[in-house]
Chains A and B, each alone.
Chain A
Amino acid sequence: DAGVIQSPRHEVTEMGQEVTLRCKPISGHDYLFWYRQTMMRGLELLIYFNNNVPIDDSGMPEDRFSAKMPNASFSTLKIQPSEPRDSAVYFCASSRAILSNEQFFGPGTRLTVL
């Protein structure tokens, strides 16, 4: 298995632009998580899905952030409009609950908003 795949790996954009981050979870995993990591705030859970349904989005910072999971093999995290304070590394992770909730992380997307 290729593991969790994220794209792009790096994104540089200007303030006000729309940013879309993509994630492909490990096949057969029924949970998908989006995290944001910064030096100041550490690793924060933004939202997670179970069987493609959003379960808890209480970590989403504000309405500029949205996430979708149209099918079991694809999820997006969108920021519109982006702001410099959104600069961070965004991780996607997946897990298979029937085994344990060990999470498998993707390599992350490093986002820089100028």
Chain B
Amino acid sequence: SQQGEEDPQALSIQEGENATMNCSYKTSINNLQWYRQNSGRGLVHLILIRSNEREKHSGRLRVTLDTSKKSSSLLITASRAADTASYFCATDAGDYKLSFGAGTTVTVRA
């Protein structure tokens, strides 16, 4: 079953702009992860944020986590054409399996 719900479902931005997507979940989590999937490929892990963390950075990525609201956001700054992909949040409730959301499809226009 899908626990994470991403919003928006799709996002189209100009190269150089920032892209923000959100994830809401329902139950307590151990950590939350973000993955990217390029068309026709497997998912690639981007970043993991633990339940006791509020913000994390990795290159052009910034992730926030608000456990009181059961929500997370992923910000991609200065987007590039290569960022065109689907982005998924995944929650870990502590049993080593992940529940994935439906994903946000991001299109970066040149």
Contacts and interface: CB of A to CB of B under 8 A. Distances in A.
B100 interface: yes
B88 to A, nearest CB: 7
Interface size class of B (residues with CB under 8 A): 20 to 34
Contacts, number: 49
Given A43-B88, A107-B42, A102 B48 contact: yes
Interface of B: 2, 31, 33, 35, 41-45, 48, 88, 92, 95-103
B25 to A, nearest CB: 14
Contacts of B41: 107-108
Interface size class of A (residues with CB under 8 A): 20 to 34
Interface string A54-88: 00100000000000000000000000000000000
Given A42-B102, A45-B97, A101 B42 contact: no
